[in-house]
């Protein structure tokens, strides 16, 4: 089945991915492409959205793609910079605004009865973020709405399905943003809303069957959401021909290896657990530099994985849990497309000699969509809701060099913290949480004894993608109870602190 596709042309706005997410929340499939790389099959896209940009249409780093093959030929929604670009190039005028316009504004309709504004009330709050403004509409332009500070807040081009808005419909502060996108995509562009998680599962499984036939596929499970959902899709498609490998690097959470392995077996996956903790810890001995630790772990993972993959006869494919944010080509803030595709954290360096073809069933999905796809396959809620956990595991939460004893201490501390988050119903309110073992000892008293033991830091953050994050205001009572429990239960720790730094400037992990 062919779904309607929407093309989002990215001019480098920080919100471009949000546009894609909103479109997909409407069960309409879309793809982001850089403004200067309009796909050659642009005919297959049924509507186009032009994103915002940190640039000015009048600036030196101009972002001026040729839209003549698209504009007027298919429905187009131009947002912020996109709206300015459309005006600038069609006889309108864009000038620097006297006041920089950021934040809330309220829509006043100039033209009533527009399908574009159906179910949106006069005065509806929108979110502005721009320093240029449209002084004169392009030829054929009709003004649709204004705000107190921005006269040309929304316009359309007569005789075309071309609409432009100065505000951002994709951000939550634009209260009716989703309705506006729906009006444009469903009422005006007449797209079907049939891109659902269930449809995705059915079609992906069929496509995988056709692509893989009787071939064998190997996949490294990490215990995380992405690799687990990828495995389930492949399992549905090829059953026992999917060979999953779950490596214990000795740096997982307490009991994680056995618990998760059991869970995978329960899901019917053909999975092999490989306990390579000793190999990893041996390779890491004496290494304290964070990057050196990462490299050592990455290299060892490849070694172990490769050893295991070679045991599977005639394997042809390597499956990866790569998701959409890993593959979107980003446009840099200066306008030059950076054309760098982010490499997947954990598997970027797999060696050539494996000579396997790569299959990535999730590479069109955002994280929340991966979770929804997992849910539609009835996967365990706890597994789907798991916090992100870094590939190098506890190694980058133990500052400095690693010893089995330090790993044990941190596993115990982490287990108390995470279990308490669960029992206080806080786990799902936090994006990621974990504990850090600091390379300092501090003085304490226990009973009548002076102690000189380890200090641990707890970190819990909220975030959407890990790029920026803020610390979570956990209840004092929770922190108090957790700190007591850690100090009482975990031998070797006599002090607990809570990390109240945001990212940036502090990263989520301490190393
Ligand atoms: P930072 O510490 O950079 O972390 O703020 C952002 C997100 O990335 C995870 N992270 C890693 N994941 N390998 C991974 O697979 C790594 O080397 C790595 N370093 C950080 C981190 O847990 C957070 O979710």
- Does the annotation count 170 as an active-site position? yes
Q: What is the pLDDT of residue 184?
A: 98
Instruction: State the Cα–Cα distance between residues 168 and 104, nearest whole angstrom.
Output: 11
Q: What is the pLDDT of residue 172?
A: 87
C-alpha 290 – ligand 1 centre gap (Å): 12
Instruction: State the Cα–Cα distance between residues 499 and 511, nearest whole angstrom.
Output: 14
DSSP string, 71-96: BTTB-EEEETHHHHHHHHTTT-EEEE
Q: What is the pLDDT of residue 344?
A: 38
> Are 109 and 122 in contact, with CB atoms under 8 Å apart?
yes
C-alpha 396 – ligand 1 centre gap (Å): 9
C-alpha 370 – ligand 1 centre gap (Å): 19
| Residue with CA at minimum distance from ligand 1 atom 21 | 390
Task: Name the residue among 494, 415, 498, 503 with its Cα closest to residue 465.
Answer: 503
C-alpha 283 – ligand 1 centre gap (Å): 21
Give me the helices (H) in 225-276, please: 225-238, 256-266
Give the pairing type, strands 242-248 and 271-275.
Answer: parallel
Joined tokens for residue 72: 């007027």
Give me the helices (H) in 113-251, please: 177-182, 197-212, 225-238
* Residue 70, burial from CB neighbour count under 10 angstroms (0-12, 13-18, 19+): buried
Q: What is the pTM of this model?
A: 0.85
Instruction: State the Cα–Cα distance between residues 483 and 489, nearest whole angstrom.
Output: 10
- Does the annotation count 310 as an active-site position? no
Check pocket membership of 141 for ligand 1, CB cut-off 6 A: no
Q: What is the pLDDT of residue 475?
A: 98
Instruction: State the Cα–Cα distance between residues 277 and 288, nearest whole angstrom.
Output: 18
Q: What is the pLDDT of residue 330?
A: 53
Report the percent of the chain where pLDDT is more than 90: 81
Give the pairing type, strands 45-50 and 76-79.
Answer: parallel
Instruction: State the Cα–Cα distance between residues 97 and 251, nearest whole angstrom.
Output: 54
Q: What is the pLDDT of residue 328?
A: 76
- Ligand 1 atom nearest to 463, measured from its CA: 24
Check pocket membership of 345 for ligand 1, CB cut-off 6 A: yes
Check pocket membership of 388 for ligand 1, CB cut-off 6 A: yes
Which pLDDT tens digit goes with each residue over 201-222? 999 999 999 999 999 999 999 9
Give the chain's radius of gyration (CA, Å). Answer: 26
Report the run of H or E that residue 287 belongs to, with start and end. Answer: none
- Does the annotation count 80 as an active-site position? yes
**Of the listed 170, 256, 308, 412, which one is catalytic?**
170
Instruction: State the Cα–Cα distance between residues 55 and 13, nearest whole angstrom.
Output: 9
Which pLDDT tens digit goes with each residue over 17-28? 899 999 999 999
Residues in the chain where the model's pLDDT stays below 70: 1, 60-61, 329-354
What distance, in Å, lies between the first and last C-alpha atoms of the chain? 46
- Ligand 1 atom nearest to 391, measured from its CA: 15
Check pocket membership of 108 for ligand 1, CB cut-off 6 A: no
| Residue with CA at minimum distance from ligand 1 atom 18 | 390
Joined tokens for residue 504: 């940036």
> Are 418 and 492 in contact, with CB atoms under 8 Å apart?
no
- Ligand 1 atom nearest to 506, measured from its CA: 5
Q: What is the pLDDT of residue 1?
A: 62
C-alpha 390 – ligand 1 centre gap (Å): 5
Give me the helices (H) in 318-396, please: 324-327, 367-376, 381-384
């Amino acid at each position: 089945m062919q779904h309607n596709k929407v093309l989002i042309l990215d001019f480098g706005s920080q919100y471009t991915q949000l546009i894609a997410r909103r479109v997909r929340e409407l069960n309409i499939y879309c793809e982001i492409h850089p403004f200067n790389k309009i796909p050659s099959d642009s005919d297959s896209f049924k509507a186009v959205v032009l994103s915002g940009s940190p640039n000015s249409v009048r600036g030196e780093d101009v972002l001026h793609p040729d839209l003549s093959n698209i504009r007027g030929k298919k429905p187009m929604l131009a947002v912020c910079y996109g709206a300015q670009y459309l005006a600038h190039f069609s006889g309108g005028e864009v000038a620097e605004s006297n006041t920089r316009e950021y934040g809330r504004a309220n829509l006043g309709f100039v033209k009533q009865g527009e399908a574009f504004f159906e179910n949106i009330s006069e005065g509806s709050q929108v979110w502005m973020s721009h320093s240029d403004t449209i002084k004169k509409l392009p030829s054929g332009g009709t003004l649709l709405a204004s705000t107190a500070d921005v006269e040309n807040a929304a316009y359309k081009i007569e005789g075309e399905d071309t609409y432009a808005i100065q505000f951002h419909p994709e951000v939550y502060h634009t209260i009716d943003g989703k309705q506006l996108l729906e009006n444009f995509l469903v009422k005006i562009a007449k797209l079907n809303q049939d891109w659902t998680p269930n449809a995705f599962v059915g079609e992906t499984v069929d496509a995988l069957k056709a692509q893989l036939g009787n071939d064998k596929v190997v996949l490294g499970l990490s215990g995380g959401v992405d690799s687990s959902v990828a495995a389930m899709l492949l399992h549905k498609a090829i059953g026992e021909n999917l060979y999953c490998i779950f490596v214990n690097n000795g740096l997982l959470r307490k009991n994680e290896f056995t618990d998760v392995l059991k869970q995978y077996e329960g899901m019917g996956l053909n999975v092999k657990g490989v306990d390579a903790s000793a190999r990893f810890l041996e390779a890491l001995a004496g290494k304290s530099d964070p990057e050196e630790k990462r490299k050592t772990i990455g290299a060892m993972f490849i070694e172990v994985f490769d050893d295991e993959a070679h045991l599977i006869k005639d394997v042809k494919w390597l499956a990866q849990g790569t998701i959409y944010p890993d593959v979107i080509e980003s446009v840099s803030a200066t306008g030059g497309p950076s054309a760098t595709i982010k490499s997947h954290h954990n598997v970027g360096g797999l060696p050539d000699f494996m000579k396997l073809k790569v299959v990535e069933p999730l590479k069109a999905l955002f994280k929340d969509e991966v979770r929804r796809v997992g849910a539609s396959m009835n996967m365990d809620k706890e597994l789907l809701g798991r916090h992100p956990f870094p590939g190098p595991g506890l190694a980058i939460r133990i500052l400095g060099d690693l010893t089995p004893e330090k790993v044990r201490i941190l596993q115990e501390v982490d287990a108390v913290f995470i279990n308490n988050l669960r029992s206080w119903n806080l786990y799902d309110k936090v994006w990621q949480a974990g504990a850090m073992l600091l390379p300092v000892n501090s003085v304490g008293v226990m009973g009548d004894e002076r102690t000189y033991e380890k200090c641990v830091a707890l970190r819990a953050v909220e975030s959407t993608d890990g790029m920026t994050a803020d610390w979570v205001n956990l209840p004092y009572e929770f922190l108090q109870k957790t700190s007591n429990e850690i100090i009482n239960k975990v031998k070797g720790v006599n002090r607990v602190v809570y990390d109240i730094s945001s990212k940036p400037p502090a990263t989520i992990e301490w190393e």
